[in-house]
Amino acid sequence: MKLRQALLVSAKVHRILEYGLRQLMAGKVDLATARCEADLAVRELGFPDLFDWIDDVLSLNAALLSGWRDYTSGLPRAILDHWPAQELYRVYPRPSHRQWNGLDRENIIDGEPPQGRWVEAGGQLYDGRMIALKDSSVWTKISRFGKPYSPFDFDSGMATKGVTRAEAKKFGLIDRDRQIYLPELPPPDDVILWEPEEGPLAAVMPALDLRNTARCLEHSPPRAVAKRYALQPLASDVVLSRSPGAAKVESSQSANPATAKRR
């Protein structure tokens, strides 16, 4: 069994990352501390430097929990009545990116649907904008993670913002009296993992490895961190994304975010 495969099936590694994520979302530690403590704990299990991979895993899972919180905070009737729809839009540009609206013509990654992921999922464009009612199934369909809230894919740079009833009426999405109902959803109860990149950067750059280790040792002694993290109960299942060479990135399939970044 390869080292990276052993890493992903290790319940101890899962406990470490899950515990770090819960600590982070509870506001007990910041991302830097959670990242460093998880890195030190994983090292104590005998794995090489995985600092960047741990950072990506914690950042993605923290973003999904944050997205769930935003979704939940938008459930009150007054909010749904005033903003019954929402718009998907780009917040952060990427050198190469996914084809969301079907209108972009440059720097599109290979394998994207020409009509755009939004239209492929059943969404419609209104003056070139990706807008749908909040109870539309399109939000779950565009999500690589099967959630009706952002993030919808690895490092996509996309987000949502509310669309007022008046504007939604203008596009024919809703009338004056219709009400939108959204179900209460539990928080994400799984930790999304994927294989680390082949040959971690620190493995060929000892100086970087030493720098990361020295920086993290300022937080806590590694043995104490490993013991504290490993004792945490395993509360949920691990969700493994597909490995980099298994298939190219597609709109409805999982993929390794190491190959999907900056898109």
The per-residue pLDDT for range 155-168, each reduced to its tens digit, is 888 999 999 999 99
In angstroms, what CA-CA distances link 2 with 103, 126, 195, 259?
43, 49, 11, 20
Residues sharing a CB contact under 8 Å with residue 23, sequence separation 6 or more, in sequence order: 29, 34
The per-residue pLDDT for range 3-61, each reduced to its tens digit, is 455 555 567 777 888 888 888 877 888 888 888 888 888 877 777 678 888 888 888 98
Q: For residue 149, how many C-alpha atoms fall within 13 Å in the half-sphere facing its CB?
A: 22
Residue with the bigger pLDDT between 9 and 237: it is 9
Residues, the chain: 263
The per-residue pLDDT for range 171-221, each reduced to its tens digit, is 999 999 999 999 999 988 777 877 776 443 433 333 444 455 565 666 555
Residue 228 clears pLDDT 60, i.e. is over it: no
Identify whether the C-beta of residue 118 lies closer than 8 Å to the C-beta of residue 138. yes
pLDDT for the residue numbered 239: 45
pLDDT for the residue numbered 8: 56
Which H, E and C letters describe 31-76, residue by residue?
HHHHHHHHHHHHHHCCCCCCHHHHHHHHHHHHHHHHHHHHHHHCCC
pTM, 2 dp: 0.74
Look at residues 14, 4, 3 and name the one whose alpha carbon lies nearest to residue 238: 14
Residue with the bigger pLDDT between 112 and 218: it is 112
